[in-house]
Structure 1
Amino acid sequence: MSRAHVLLLFLALRSLAGPIPDEPFWQDAAEPIRHAPELDGATYRKLVVDRENVVHVLTDRGLARVFGDTLAPDASHRSLAGKPVVDITASPDGDLYWLLADRWLSNARNGVPFGSVGTNRYTHIVAEADGSVWLAGHGIHARADADGRLRENLYAGMSDIRVWNGAPGKPWIGVDGRIRAFDATGVTALASRGGRVWLGTRRGLRIVDPEGGATAGRAGPPELRLPCTDITALHAASNGVWVGTIRGAFFRRDAATPSPDHNGTVADGAPLTADHGIRLYAGRRWLRDDAVVDLATDRDGQLWVLTKTGLNRIGFHRTTLAEKAEWYHRKVRSRNLRFGFTAERRLRRPGDITSSEMIDTDNDGGWTSYYIGSLAARYGVTHEEETRRQAWESFGALERTQTIHTNAGFPARTFERRGFKFSDPDRWRDAPDPNWEWKGHTSSDEICSQTFAHAVMWELVARNAAERSRVATNFVRIVDHILAHDLYLVDVDGKPTLWGRWNPEYVNWFPPSIVDRRLNSAEITASLQLAYRMTGDDRYRDRAMGLFAKSGYLANILGPMSAVALTPGFIHQGNDMGDEWNHSDDELGFFTYWVLVRFAFTPELRAQYAAAVKDHWEFERPERYPIWNFIHAACGGESHEPEAAVWTLRGTPLDTITWTVTNSTREDLTKLPKSFPGREMKEILPPGERAMARINTQPFILDHGDGGGIDLPGDEFLLGYWLGRFVGAIAAPAAR
């Protein structure tokens, strides 16, 4: 098909449905708070945000407050500086009230609110809008008028009296964990909005609904389908409730309220929830530790979470996918480029980007090929000359994987200056230039990904015959190497590499139940098709047709994914090829499909290939993965679910560090038994609740991450977004 026909195909695809508008949404991000040295080892007890949006924290060393991005002891009022503080609260108007050992007071209302109490009698305070307060302590609670008059009520034999904010003039009184008005026991936290009241317990969340019919005004049964049922804190929001637990904080959306992906106000809660209305913030990506003491939102909608080791802030900021893509683009350009390769950064101190260094990886050429894909798609949409320059820069790294040594047509995995290699030191070889080393043992992963990169460079970036010739020359050299070695990739030792094998003797050794039979057949066919399109040389087409006719490669490609199953016992150089579903094979499959379909020899083959792509995509569909969805669209898939892809793009965190994420302890997920596909849970979680990982990691894994040791580039987000723009699934942003 000519380039003009390709354009016509995509114009037709774009007309199938209108693009999804790039409406602003709330992007969440952890915003670290420094802690003054005076608070080292402090015990953190309570969190209050006052009417001026000042964040106050009660500690065992007195009151602290946030100054900018630092939590420090508060010596603002000299008369109170250093005084032991028993409790703090905010009135409905947001005025801060203090409870000391022998008195309560506020600096609002010109300092008038004040009252004396018996020494060490009270432990909790709640303030009313009129300046009066409610107090609770050991076996006692009281109401103090604004003028200081105190009326006490004693509870004989009761030790723990608590008071929580309620309707004006009607605080909720808890006696030894029991709130009689709701017939509720074991209450650890309370929040209310309108007539609805949420009660936190050690065994779930109970809700008091004023419109509950016969049960109106009474606590319902404990809600147990929560990430953690051991609740320590609650804070009401306009469409749900924030919940603090011993294992992180989460937002529970009201059942009747839609998920605020891109609507509503910041106070609506989290920007994205799972299908069952929960959004969890846990682990070091979000919190210093997971033991939540208290939580609150400020008037800007930012979430403040007080945990055992200190204060945390999670910000929600209005953005668009286009703005988010530009953020990722600047991050990659400024922090994750090494010789034109996209690079991971190793963090010598977990989570500390200032301690990091760029390192080589097992597939630098492969990951960089996908980055090239994002630049090519972006250039196809925007025609920005700087984007085009950047694509050629990274393409130069792919060219150098061949020219850094003398093994013609053999792409190195990566290269580095001598003495600074990092990964797999046994796979490195000396370059003719004594200042450099290169990594061999190249696999089919590299060939597949580089085939994709050469295809998009030739199709979308090269603007004239000379540039297309440059791309073709580099790619055809790889294909000629494979053909010259009987469909093997041969390293400098004269032996085929472990995975660089497309010979029928290897490919057809696998039964149809092992995906390598289908995948490797598709890979070599795609490479031969691209070489034929670039050169017009019939020998590439003839070799592919020979593999179809004599070795069944077309039948292999079209074999149903439903045939792939657990098939142990097929051992290749010590590797059991059928004992698990390797998500890398899905990755390689979809990048191969781009070339397989778009560069098909005939329209008939294109239609057959497109059906095979749809067959594979149906299996991957639950992942809601943007790249798979939009490659499916680029291959003619009409039902590629762009909404699901956009859900993932919006939910992708800005923190690209590989923090450990533990979901196996959650009580709201449906755990699955061990299976061949390796999916460990039924639900698809928002990306912010999953570990940051490369695209060869399937998202249904419960626990993943390495404790914050690597900063990933995040360029997969760019590829997903720009492919969505390129196929017309995502609209350009409206002017803001």
Structure 2
Amino acid sequence: MKLSQISILLCLLLIEPVFAGKADQPVKDDPYMVPVSVKYTLSPKWKDLHFKKVVADGDNSIFILTDAGLFRDFPGEVISKDLRYASLADKHPMDICIQEGTGYLYYLYPDRFLTNKHAGTICGLLPENQYSHIAVNGDDDVLLIGKQGGVLYNRSRKIRELGVPQGGFVRLYVSDNQFWYLSATGIYLLKDDKWIKIHSGNSMTAMAFNGDKIAVGTTDGYYVIDRSGKIIEPHNNRLPVPVITNMLTVDGKYWFATEGGAFVKQPERFDYFASERWLDQDKIVDMAADNKGNLYFLTPTGLNKVQFVQETLAEKAEFLQDNLRKYHLRYGFSSALRLVDPDDPTTMRLDDDDNDGLWTSFYLGSQAFRYAVTKEEKAKEYVWESFEAFERLLVIHPITGFSARTFERTGYIAGDTVPWRPAPDMNWWWKGTTSTDEFVGYLFVTSVIDQYVAQTPEEKKRVADYIDAIMTHIITNDYYFIDYDGQPTLWGRWNPDYVNSFATTQFDRRLNSTLTITGLQLAYKLTGKEIYKTEAFRLMEKHGYLDNMKISMANIRFTSGFQHDGITMGEDWNHSDDEMAFLTYWVLYHYAFNDDLKQEYAAMIRDHWEIEKPERNALWNLLTYGTSGDMDLESTIWYLQGFPKDRNRYVIKNSHRKDLEFLPKDIHTNFREQTTTELIPKRERPMNRHNNNEFIIDGGRGAHQQLTGDEYLLPYWMARFLNVIY
């Protein structure tokens, strides 16, 4: 099937994509549906409320039953008391409901029920405090239920009194003008003024109607019956949380509320909405849906909406780009921010980071590819703005050709203080201990600026001088980064003795060889200095760097007995190595000395990509596609469409979920620490950078930390550049 024959108007965050393969034809960036979290604020006039029930009327107004009366939504996602009707403002309803069909709001008070529709003509006077629950069907029949019995009205006219079924009341329902009564042990239908038992069960908690089907929730999963009470879909307790407290059917899909969040049944999986990303707390008291398909989750402390909106990848890129420019730039570095006060979004602060250069390479790279695609002068301006920060890393200290990790004004260092030193300019300090991570960033930004941004001889020389200084420092110092103390940094080491001290089963051997040859190739192509080419072939031929680079990833495994500076290595997988490798592969391939090497590089890139495919990382896919030509298109689009615009690093937990199939934690059989057989969507996982395991399902640093969004911007603009999307 050709890609052009496949519709990508997918609700991709709710429906698994169906297309796959190479990007032999670009995918159109059509709008897709995406869930967005909206949290309502309680008016400061009110506090310590007890929330009981939430409903959405036919006009999509939201009403909340509380112990202080009826509350509703107001502009700006604010909740406050409903004071519109003076005659009702001081009254406290026992219950509220929405009439089936019309969407009209009905109130049940201790002495009456009423609606403000029909010009207020519908009102039934009642014995005091006899009924506590109300339901209204499309024929204007009003059913009231209390502990001792029930009563049926039509509009304001009493029809007859009713008994109540045995087994304890759980909830009233209306479906197709029929009233249904749920107890813990039975489902009853009101027929000919009598309760007819349709189904017997145990520990039943909720129901959801879907045509001729009724889904029945319990304290241990759910099953589906038909309207005669026959089980037609078996019991299923492999759910994110099996103890169900409420259910709804929205657009033909079952939604479940629990004390551990909410989830929706999809054809192949459950989409899970929990943690601060979606809810102010995970315990859900009640839920409702409006006629646009948006969900409202009431917790003991607030109202939360999951709103479904259309967006395109381009719109998301524009949003993240604007947000990054406004809030995440620090001296040209792309910086994650933190809130000094987690509850106050105005207390944003940008702090120094160990890997300012590496993280910024993603942002700078995104702008380089953006410029290559659009030729927007602003994109070019942003590239040079951030490159200036990279250049300053070389000159803020007195060590020739050595790049600092980062810098900060005197007296304002936020991170660890040991590696910092005062700069010659007394107003600044710089941080040493520069590592391979930072070196990878230098390689990547140099290459993409040279390839796509630098145009004039002066610009070309500026970029060449930058990498020339760094590589000269490395060669001069026997393939080490030499720090302020005259010693090699902990990880800035590419010397053959160090590189070949690793076993062939350790990725460090392959990675460090790759980084070294990449730097030498790049410097040679930009400067023309023969020393770089000579050194590269010396290392490849005499010290086995090319053989090291071609070590198959299938050979990398648990390896004990190796320590570096007291740090045990080889006994777990470091996903930062994946990040460093794939960014470097782009440079390695595009600056290869010759076509024969280029083909060997393509094979080694493909080898790494094959084991990385389960993580479905769009950037690794695109870097591979732009070199070896291989690609998982389905996962690339899945990643881009599933990347949340909300980059807060909420604390998230998934390890309790019963719907996931977990893999053993054995480091020998599961060296890459894949937790589940299939990757869950990014919106359900902790928010991490590219150097983290995509299969981390628990964790996070809290809502007070926010990533920049360049984790999305680089793969998006690469996809545009490589004609994967248009």
What TM-score do the two structures reach when normalised by structure 1?
Answer: 0.91
Counterpart-to-counterpart distance in 2, 1:182 and 1:158? 13
SS in 1 for 2:687: coil
Give, in whole Å, the separation in 1 of the partners of 2:633 and 2:660. 25
Q: CA deviation at 1:156?
A: 7.7
- Distance across 2 between alignment mates of 1:58 and 1:658: 32
Instruction: After superposing the two structures, state which structure 1 stretch, 27-36 or 329-338, moved more.
Output: 27-36
Offset of residue 177 of structure 1: 4.5
* Equivalent position of 1:154 in the other structure: 163
Aligned residues: 691
CA distance in 2 between partners of 1:498 and 1:312 (Å) = 47
- Aligned residue in 2 for 1:623: 615
**Alignment match, 2:35:** 28
Identity %: 40
**Residue in structure 1 matching 2:699, options 700, 704, 712:** 704
Written as runs of structure 1 = structure 2, the 5 A alignment for 1:326-341 is 326-341=318-333
Q: Output the CA distance in 2 between the equivalents of 1:27 and 1:135.
A: 39
Q: Among residues 660, 669, 673, which one is paired with 1:669 in the alignment?
A: 660
Give the whole-Å Cα distance in 2 for the aligned partners of 1:15 and 1:621. Answer: 14
State whether residues 472 and 535 of structure 1, in contact with CA within 8 Å, keep that contact through their aligned partners in structure 2: yes
Answer yes or no: is 1:587 the counterpart of 2:582.
Answer: no
Counterpart of 1:86, as a letter, is: M
**SS of the residue 1:17 aligns to:** coil
The aligned counterpart of 1:193 is: 210
Aligned to 1:63: 70
| 3-state SS in 2 of match to 1:525 | helix
Do structure 1's residue 715 and structure 2's residue 710 form an aligned pair? yes
Residue 242 (1) aligns with residue 255 (2) = yes
Shift of 1:479: 0.3
- Given the alignment, which residue of 392, 398, 402 partners 1:410? 402
RMSD of aligned residue pairs (Cα, Å): 1.7
The residue aligned with 1:124 is 133
Counterpart CA distance in 2 for 1:718 and 1:176 is 51
Residue aligned with 2:143, SS: strand
Q: Say whether the 8 Å CA contact 1:415–1:439 is kept in structure 2.
A: yes
* Structure 2 stretches lacking a partner, 5+ long: 1-20, 188-196
Check 1:130–1:457 CA distance in 2 against 1; reply closer, same or farther (3 A cut): same
* Paired residues for 1:138-217 under 5 Å: 138-155=147-164, 159-160=168-169, 162-168=171-177, 170-179=178-187, 180-209=197-226, 217=230
Aligned equivalent of 2:634: 643
CA contact (8 A) 1:113 1:131 kept: no
Distance 1:359 1:665, change over 3 A: same
| Contact 1:139/1:157 (8 A) holds in 2 | no
Q: 1:222 aligns with which of 235, 245, 256?
A: 235
Instruction: State the alpha-carbon separation in 2 of the partners of residues 112 and 164 from structure 1.
Output: 24
Identify the match of residue 487 of structure 2 among 473, 482, 495.
495
CA offset at residue 52 of structure 1? 1.6
Distance 1:332 1:351 in 2: 21
| Equivalent in the alignment of 1:308 | 300
Alpha-carbon distance in structure 2 between the residues aligned to 1:16 and 1:617:
16
2:402 and 2:69 map into 1 onto residues whose CA distance is 67
2:678 is paired with a residue whose SS is: coil
Q: Which stretch has the larger CA shift, 193-202 or 560-569?
A: 193-202
The equivalent of 1:42 in structure 2 is 49
Cα deviations across residues 287-345 of structure 1 (Å, max 9, x unaligned)?
Answer: 11001111222233332111121111222221100010010000110000010001111
Amino acid at match of 2:84: S
Deviation at 1:216, TM superposition (A): 7.1
Distance in 2, Cα, partners of 1:58 & 1:73: 10
Question: Which deviations, in whole Å up to 9, do the C-alpha atoms of 1:547-602 show, x marking residues without a partner?
Answer: 11111100000000011111122010111111110000000000110111111111
Structure 2 match to 1:729: 724
- Classify 1:167/1:683 alpha carbon distance in 2 versus 1 (closer, same or farther; 3 Å): same
Q: Which residue pairs with 1:72 in the alignment?
A: 80
Query: In 1, Cα distance between the equivalents of 2:368 and 2:510?
Result: 28
1:130: how far off? 2.2
Match of 1:684 in 2: 679
Q: Distance in 2 between matches of 1:220 and 1:414?
A: 59
Kept in 2, the 8 Å contact 1:140–1:161? The answer is no
Which ranges in structure 1 are unaligned for 5 or more consecutive residues?
1-13, 256-275, 732-736
Alpha-carbon spacing, 1:138–1:312, altered in 2? closer, same or farther (3 Å): same
Provide the rounded CA distance (Å) in 2 between the counterparts of 1:103 and 1:389.
69
Shift in alpha-carbon separation, 1:109–1:184, aligned structure 2, 3 A: farther
* Post-superposition offset of 1:398: 0.3
Contact 1:345 1:710 in 2 (8 A): yes
Q: Which of 86, 92, 114 matches 1:105?
A: 114
Which deviates more, 390-399 or 704-713?
Answer: 704-713
1:184, distance to aligned residue in structure 2 (A): 3.1
Match of 1:652 among 643, 646, 652: 643
- Give the aligned residue type for 2:262: A
Where 2:39 maps in the other structure, the secondary structure is: coil
Q: Assess if the C-alpha contact under 8 Å between 1:139 and 1:158 holds in 2.
A: no
Kept in 2: contact 1:191–1:235 (CA 8 A): yes
**2:478 counterpart residue number:** 486
Report how far residue 637 of structure 1 moved.
2.1
Match of 2:526 among 529, 534, 539: 534
Code of the residue aligned with 2:540 in structure 1: it is F
Query: CA 1:467–1:588 in 2, change beyond 3 Å: closer, same or farther?
Result: same
The offset of 1:285, in angstroms, is 1.2
Q: TM-score, normalised by structure 2?
A: 0.93
| Cα distance in structure 2, aligned partners of 1:409 and 1:207 | 69
Deviations 1:3-27 (A, max 9, x none): xxxxxxxxxxx99610111010123
CA displacement 1:83-113 (0-9 Å, x = unmatched): 1211111012100011111221111111122
| Matched residue type, 1:428 | W
1:176/1:135 CA distance change after superposition, 3 Å: farther
Q: Aligned pair in 2 of structure 1 residues 702, 124: CA closer, same or farther (>3 Å)?
A: same
Distance 1:397 1:209, change over 3 A: farther
> How many angstroms does 1:218 deviate by?
3.4
The one-letter code matched in structure 1 to 2:702 is G
Counterpart in the other structure of 2:191: none
Distance 1:167 1:142 in 2: 20
Alpha-carbon offset, residue 158 of structure 1: 5.1
Amino acid at match of 2:275: G
1:209-358 correspondence to structure 2 within 5 Å: 209=226, 217-218=230-231, 220-253=233-266, 255=267, 276-350=268-342, 352-358=344-350
- In the other structure, the counterpart of 2:443 is 451
SS at match of 1:511: coil
Letter aligned with residue 645 of structure 1: T
Letter in 1 for 2:199: F
Report the CA distance shift for 1:661/1:56 in structure 2 as closer, same or farther (over 3 A). same
Aligned partner of residue 648 in structure 1, secondary structure: helix
TM-aligned CA distance change 1:218 to 1:458, over 3 Å:
same
1:87 aligns with 2:119: no
Query: Alignment partner of 1:709: what SS?
Result: strand
| Cα distance in 2 between the residues matched to 1:176 and 1:658 | 40
Match of 1:7 in 2: none
Equivalence for 1:259? none
Q: What is the SS of the residue equivalent to 2:24?
A: coil
Does the 8 A contact of 1:234 with 1:294 survive in 2? Answer: no
* Letter paired with 1:172: W
- Measured in 2, the distance between the counterparts of 1:489 and 1:65 equals 63
What is the one-letter code of the residue matched to 2:648?
Answer: I
The answer to whether the 8 Å contact 2:251/2:293 transfers is no
Alpha-carbon separation, structure 1, partners of 2:212 and 2:495: 71
Partner SS, residue 53 of structure 1: coil
Post-superposition offset of 1:386: 0.8
